[in-house]
């Protein structure tokens, strides 16, 4: 994440600084909640292949054990992201203990960001 620069991020749908702003926003939010995160799925693959983001959204992952260790349930996590960090919830799928995904819009940049919960095997 820290290696990303404005000049390394290019996209037709959003200006490159929108992606940087979104990643900084999500990093600051999750870091302040002590929840580690990582790029995943298409976002990780496209950045690995082309050193930029080509899709019109961001995909990140967090671990269920980290949410559980901090006593976050679905309602608390969503309200914290909305009220404390100004993310807008667009949609959500699955259950907290199986297959959970939230789709947010990043504050200011409005870039869609999908947060996937990963579970132990």
- For the chain, the average pLDDT equals 82
Residue 95 domain flag: yes
Any idea what DSSP says for residue 72?
-
CATH code, domain with 45:
3.30.460.10
Distances (CA, A) of 116 to 52, 57, 80: 21, 13, 17
Any idea what DSSP says for residue 11?
-
Report how far apart the first and last C-alpha atoms of the chain are (Å, whole number).
26
Please report the pLDDT score of residue 23 as a whole number. 84
Average pLDDT over residues 55-77: 90
pLDDT digits (tens, 9 = 90+) for 67-83: 999 999 999 999 999 99
- pLDDT of 1 higher than 70: no
Count of domains for the chain: 1
CA distance 84 to 119: 26
- pLDDT of 26 higher than 70: yes
Residue 71 domain flag: yes
Residue 90 domain flag: yes
Range of the domain at 49: 6-118
């Amino acid at each position: 994440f820290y290696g990303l620069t404005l000049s390394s991020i290019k996209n037709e749908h959003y200006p490159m600084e929108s992606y940087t702003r979104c990643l900084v926003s999500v990093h600051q939010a999750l870091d302040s909640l002590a929840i580690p995160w990582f790029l995943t799925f298409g976002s990780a693959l496209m950045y690995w292949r082309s050193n930029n983001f080509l899709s019109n959204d961001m995909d990140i992952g967090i671990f269920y054990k980290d949410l559980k260790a901090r006593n976050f349930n679905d309602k608390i996590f969503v309200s914290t992201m909305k009220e404390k960090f100004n993310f807008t919830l667009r949609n959500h799928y699955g259950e907290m203990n199986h297959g959970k995904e939230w789709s947010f819009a990043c504050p200011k940049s409005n870039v869609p960001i999908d947060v996937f919960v990963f579970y132990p095997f």
